[in-house]
Amino acid sequence: MNFEDWFPLYLQITDSLKINRMADYESSILLRKFIHNSDGIIEPYRGRNAFIVGNGKNLENVLGTISGGYVIVADSAIETYNSLYGNPDMIVTDLDGNMDSIIDAYNHGSFVFVHAHGDNMPAITKYARYFSRGIATTQHIPMKYLYNYGGFSDGDRSAFLADHLGAPHITLLGFDFKNVNMKPNYDQAAVSRKKIKLMWAEYLLGYLAKSRGTSMSPGDIIEI
């Protein structure tokens, strides 16, 4: 997705969630101080089928369907995936998952895409230094060593990354757009906010599917 197509969607998403877009920009500039790599390092994956691993409740039941291609794990799904299959090819994270697991996978060869948004500047300051060989991403304006492939949450950003790499087939595993995967710090406001994000994730993945000439039907295994 090019930035001209993404930016109108970004404006709608940030308005719906009352996100401070200047904070998104400031977070991106902060992340860029820690990570200075070209995404050319992932070119060997271009043109291959991609499996995107989300953190839905039925994830363990569908991971066995992965065959061939490469695997991108969205943030919090790393624990389940790693416990069954080891380290994935790539991890997409905004640094609110199990950081010990993500750092360990990175140290054992997984490519890690570290994402900046206005609410995660403290996490960037704390953790970005561990991913000096990673790739920095933003939902705001892209620039040198700071990439925007499209997408908003970890799961849909993973799918847009695979599309950027020209994946002929993208398979989404463990994506649940209706039920919030609860975290210990979630209150009712956080749950409501997460539901809006899930709505946008479903919309964006449908948008991506349409741009690829396909359609999307929600389920434990989704082909786009």
Work out the pLDDT band at 179, boundaries 50, 70, 90: confident
Work out the pLDDT band at 92, boundaries 50, 70, 90: very high
Q: What is the reported pLDDT for 44?
A: 97
Q: What is the reported pLDDT for 121?
A: 98
Q: pTM above the 0.85 mark?
A: yes
Work out the pLDDT band at 161, boundaries 50, 70, 90: very high
pLDDT tens digits, residue range 116-160?
999 999 999 999 999 999 999 999 999 999 999 999 999 999 999
The 3-class SS string of the chain reads CCHHHHHHHHHHHHHHHCCCHHHHHHHHHHHHCCCCCCHHHHHHHCCCCEEEECCCCCHHHHHHHCCCCEEEEEHHHHHHHHHHHCCCCEEEECCCCCHHHHHHHHHCCCEEEEEECCCCHHHHHHHHHHHCCCEEEECCCCECCEECCCCCCHHHHHHHHHHHCCCCCEEEECCCCCCCCCCCCCCHHHHHHHHHHHHHHHHHHHHHHHHCCCCCCCCCEEEC
Walk me through the domains of the chain, giving residue ranges and CATH numbers.
3-223 (3.90.1480)
Q: Provide the token pair at 125.
A: 């300051």
Please report, rounded to a whole number, the percentage of residues in the chain having pLDDT higher than 70.
Answer: 98
